[in-house]
Amino acid sequence: MPYAHTLEGNPHWLPLNPRSSLKAIPGERGWPIVGNTFEVLKDPLAFTKKMVAKHGTVYRNNSFGGDSVVLLGPDANELVLFDKDKNFSSEQGWGPVLNLVFPRGLMLMDFEKHRADRKALSVAFKPEPMKHYADELNAGVAAQVGDWANKPINFYSAIKALTLDLAATSFLGVPLGDEAAKINQAFVDEVQASVSPIRTPLPGTSMRKGVKAREYLVEFFTREIPARRNGTGQDFFSQFCRTTDENGVPLPADAIVDHMNFLMMAAHDTITSSATSLVMLLGRNVEWQEKLRAEVAELGSNDGSVPYGQLDRLVLTEYAFKESLRLMPPVPSIPRRALRDFSFGGYDIPAGTFVGVNTAYTHHMPEHWPDPKRFDPMRFSPEASKGRHRFAWVPFGGGAHMCIGLHFATMQIRILMAQLLSRYRIELAPGAGEDWQIFPIPKPKDGLPVTFVPV
């Protein structure tokens, strides 16, 4: 999403290419100024299919403020995401969208600096802290879903609120209450700002609100860091305060603040979106609800909670989650910027080009996913997965920037499903979830009205 003006504050970025640099790539620029933005927003998958039919699986598109080259299919995903030749910048791909509110997060870093910081942060994803988060998640989910019986629930809003509350304890180590509520609101404002079409923080805009929210969070984190460095907290924030780089030096305070901000953003709407699509798909495929409920019952827990050591037994739950991520990936496309000239699919593409791979399109390619619209979790059994291209399923990306929170997300979904399905049958309201807004992160336009009927 190449917003030209963001190059200004980043002298180390490549300059913008003239439009003529892409004239050899087939494609179209759409309407003056807005290009194809509205068509992309309306139905991204349909738009991509239309472009493929006209131009093939490498094409030029003009949307969200500039030209980019879209590269489709598992080989394209591997080239760009695995990036064995270090040709593609994540910072310059995501930066135009995220730099104002989430600067210097992991996805906004490249190569050696990225590797070093990712290694330092990885302490918080090791088994010991994961066990602690599992306990927190079990308690937090149980405390809320118990109240969901027999009443109409807007699932998207309910799971968003629950995920934010869970983040207050697991991510921040802050008990629920006024402060947690203020922090949660600040995150919501930041995320809103990051996708706002007005990129200048003018009074009254969501960008201004987001910038203010960031100031509040920076102040909160900075104030807390000294105590967390000396404490024993197991939450992400405390772990980042105590971690060190390869030379034993703790992360500086401003880096902790930036990583925390980014991590919360990366975790929050993605989990909300994927939990919502899974509940919708289980609501529509009652036989799968039954299978998952039986699997949970086999654990023999009387309150639906799943200890960390038992999570791997929820195999069908994991397949169903993977299938929902295939059908409705929370990150539908992934941007990069080429740092060097490269070739793909018979085209030469110059350095400086904004490129995008498309998760959602790959996940619907019939040559990799027969009958692609059908919900069939057994696609992920070891037998069915044999021989599949390893970049045909990329909801968490791949390569150096592959989602660092993927095991956390899978754990939260397993715990949520165990707690929900051991208590309730999912009943969707008629027509629930028929229409989704896909960008920036998919959500059902009706919020997915649902009733949880005690079993």
Query: Which residues make up the interface to ligand HEM (CB under 6 A)?
Result: 81, 90, 106-107, 118, 263, 266-267, 270-271, 274, 330-331, 334, 395-397, 401, 403-405, 408-409
Report the C-alpha gap between 192 and 160 in whole angstroms.
14
Report the C-alpha gap between 395 and 359 in whole angstroms.
6
Q: Give me the least distance between CB of 123 and ligand HEM, in Å please.
A: 13
Which is closer to ligand HEM, CB of 39 or CB of 323?
Answer: 323
Report the C-alpha gap between 73 and 87 in whole angstroms.
18
Which is closer to ligand HEM, CB of 39 or CB of 64?
Answer: 64
CA dihedral 398, 9, 354, 397 (to 10 degrees): 10
Which is closer to ligand HEM, CB of 145 or CB of 328?
Answer: 328
Q: Give me the least distance between CB of 401 and ligand HEM, in Å please.
A: 4
Q: Alpha carbon of 200 to those of 5, 25, 203, 215: distances in Å?
A: 10, 32, 9, 16
Beta strand ranges found along 384-442 (DSSP E): 424-428, 436-437
Report the C-alpha gap between 155 and 420 in whole angstroms.
12
Q: In this structure, how many other beta carbons lie within 10 angstroms of the beta carbon of residue 447? A: 17
| Token digits of residue 226 | 């000294």
Q: In this structure, how many other beta carbons lie within 10 angstroms of the beta carbon of residue 146? A: 12
Q: Give me the least distance between CB of 221 and ligand HEM, in Å please.
A: 16
Q: Give me the least distance between CB of 37 and ligand HEM, in Å please.
A: 21
Q: Give me the least distance between CB of 266 and ligand HEM, in Å please.
A: 4
**Per-position DSSP letters for 89-146, written without gaps between them:** ESHHHHHHHHTTTSTT-GGG--HHHHHHHHHHHGGGGSHHHHHHHHHHHHHHHHHHHT
Which is closer to ligand HEM, CB of 145 or CB of 263?
Answer: 263
Q: Give me the least distance between CB of 405 and ligand HEM, in Å please.
A: 2
Which is closer to ligand HEM, CB of 39 or CB of 269?
Answer: 269
Q: Give me the least distance between CB of 205 and ligand HEM, in Å please.
A: 26
| Token digits of residue 419 | 């707690």
CB 73 within 8 Å of CB 365: yes
Report the C-alpha gap between 397 and 326 in whole angstroms.
12
Q: Give me the least distance between CB of 267 and ligand HEM, in Å please.
A: 4
Which uninterrupted H or E stretch holds 337? strand 333-338
Q: Give me the least distance between CB of 325 and ligand HEM, in Å please.
A: 6
Using CB positions, name the residue nearest to ligand HEM. 405
Q: Give me the least distance between CB of 188 and ligand HEM, in Å please.
A: 16
Report the C-alpha gap between 360 and 376 in whole angstroms.
16
CB 165 within 8 Å of CB 187: no
Which is closer to ligand HEM, CB of 81 or CB of 153?
Answer: 81
**Amino acid (1-letter code) at residue 342:** F
| Token digits of residue 284 | 């529509």
Which is closer to ligand HEM, CB of 419 or CB of 451?
Answer: 419
CB 352 within 8 Å of CB 21: yes
Which is closer to ligand HEM, CB of 36 or CB of 239?
Answer: 239
| Token digits of residue 117 | 């910081």
Which is closer to ligand HEM, CB of 228 or CB of 401?
Answer: 401
Which is closer to ligand HEM, CB of 39 or CB of 394?
Answer: 394
- Closest by Cα among 338, 332, 360 to 80: 338
Q: Give me the least distance between CB of 193 and ligand HEM, in Å please.
A: 19
**Per-position DSSP letters for 73-91, written without gaps between them:** SHHHHIIIII-TT--EESH
- Closest by Cα among 306, 322, 334 to 406: 322
Which is closer to ligand HEM, CB of 201 or CB of 393?
Answer: 393
